[in-house]
Structure formats: structure tokens, C-alpha cells
Amino acid sequence: MSGSEGPSEHEVDLLIVGAGPTGLYGTYYAGFRGLKVALLDSLPEVGGQVAALYPEKAIYDVAGFPAVRGQDLVDALYAQAAQADPLLLLGRSAVAVHEHDDGVDVTTDTGDVVHAKALLITAGIGNFTPRKLPAGSEYAGRGLRYFVPRLDELAGLDVVVVGGGDSALDWALGLEPIARSVTLVHRRPQFRAHERSVEQLHASSVRVLTPYEVHKISGEVAVEGVVVTTRAGDRQELPAQAVVAALGFIADLGPIEGWGLQLRRRHILVDRTMRTNLSRVFAAGDVADYDGKIKLISIGFGEAALAVNHITTVVRPGSSATPGHSSDL
């Protein structure tokens, strides 16, 4: 993959904004369709949210993998995308878009200008910040954390995981073999996670406390214990040297919201070809929305391929949206 340093101008067939799994697969597919492609992301490395937050997390819903570690998936997608020899523009954000008859001009926060014949937005959930734990937030960085990029950092510790979604259960199950103890605290009896993860949780040695909430975190310098309570007044004190709060994210699209795109609940509306209301701008993955949308990595892959095939007809008028089979090449 090629790169660039300093403000400069580039001309490509397709610019993809967002280097997560969907963007990486879209990059490969653009190369498969013979397009010159650039890939841009505000993070310094490819992989998006998966690489930045969940590199150790096991992912179960990618076709062909009974389970795959997040970073392993990103590494494989990166190697696949490299076949397209893309221009890689990392550590910079797209801040302005100007669509004209011949293409789209995108300006970054570092002064780069990319002249593309089409734009594909695969920005995931956009800019994201974790929802803070109401009690004990002052312990952030001193035992309280909101992400677990490396599970072995918590090996041998008593860990309290707070939350009831996929991330909370994945971290609790991932830590079970290496932590001294793992307790999962959730304010509701029901979980929002995949059914399989819930089944694995109840079959594991993870202690599950519902419906409890964190009332207090204690410790002179760092986390030493957690007090959890119910609304009925039940109270338990838990030993803990680490608290993982998996309470979800607050996300926004940042500058994308000012690009003149039709939005619905901070997502970009697309048609059946993944085209937005701007004729040369497409979107795929979690950032894209349409009736019946399901947010899965596997669906993002399909949306990226669908978008690129239709983008090809925009970039090269008269070409077919039907790609043929890669094995025929």
C-alpha cells in the first residue's frame, strides 16, 4: 500500500472514507473492479473500531470463520485490500466535500485534497466516546476502563464488568480463563447480547449479578473494591482491582453531518444500490441506513461489494454492474 506525508493533492477513481472492515473490503473490491482507490481514516492504523477497541475480541458472525480474533480479521482484510494497491491516507479526517459533474473533491483536516470520481463512506458509527459510569468515574485510568484492547493486561486480577450488551459479555467470557475472578454486573435481568453469548455466560464460572448497579468504587489510589446495589436495597461488596464499564457509546458523524446528505438518526440514508441523495456519493456498513437494515460485519461486506459494483458504472459509464466471478480472472 502506498502512503503520503504532508498536504498534497491526489486523483483517484474512488475515495473510501473509513478504514474499518467494510472500508477495507470495499478497497479490495474496488481493485477487483479495476478502480484506482484511496482509503482515508482519522485513526493512525487501519481496522477502525475493531482494531482500536476490540483487537482481542472473538467475532463469531463472519462467514468462513467459526470464530476469529478482531485483530486477525483486520490483518487478513488489510492483506486482501493491499491487492488493490490503494493510496493510504491515515491520521486525517475528511472535513469538506464538494460534488460536481465530474466527481467529488474531498478536503481533509491536514489540507490534503482528493479528487475522486466517486466517494464511498464506510465510517462505521462515526466519532465515538464511551458512556461514562455514573459512580466512580474519577477512577478512570486508575483501574476503571472503558475498553480492553489487550485482555492479558487484566490477567490475575479480580475484574468487575458492567453492562449487558455484546461487549460486556465478550469481555467477561474472554477474561474468565485468565483473571482471578470475573463478576458481571447488569441493571436488568435480561441481556442485549447475542443468545449464544448469554448461553455461554450462564455456563461459565463468571459470577452474574442482576439487577444490580455500581453504587461506589473504593480505593485510596486505584480501584480496590466495588459496592453494587439493587433498587430494593440489596447490597454487595466485591473485591476488584479492575472495573470494565461496557455501557455503549455516544456517536456522532462529525463533519459528515454538514455534507448535505439525507440523514436518519445520525445515519446516512441510501437506496438499493447504496447511493445517497448525492449522485456520486455512496455509503455502506454501519453508517448506512435503509428500511430493514441489520448491523453486522458480514452485511457490511455485502454492502461494500454492492456499492463498488454500482460505483463502477458511475466511474466508467457503459460498464456493467455485474462483476463476474473473481475465480474467472
- Distance, CA of 275 to CA of 261 (rounded, Å): 11
* DSSP per-residue codes, 183-203: EEE-SSSS--S-HHHHHHHHT
The DSSP symbol for 1 reads -
Asked if residue 94 belongs to a known ligand binding site, the reply is yes
Bridge-based pairing state of the strands 113-121 and 281-283: parallel
- Distance, CA of 254 to CA of 258 (rounded, Å): 8
The DSSP symbol for 226 reads E
Asked if residue 60 belongs to a known ligand binding site, the reply is no
Peptide bond into 211 cis (omega under 30): yes
Asked if residue 22 belongs to a known ligand binding site, the reply is yes
For 287, other C-beta atoms within 10 Å of its C-beta total 25
Asked if residue 249 belongs to a known ligand binding site, the reply is no
- Distance, CA of 182 to CA of 178 (rounded, Å): 9
Asked if residue 327 belongs to a known ligand binding site, the reply is yes
Annotated binding site for FAD: 22, 41, 49, 54, 94, 128, 286, 327
Annotated binding site: 22, 41, 49, 54, 94, 128, 286, 327
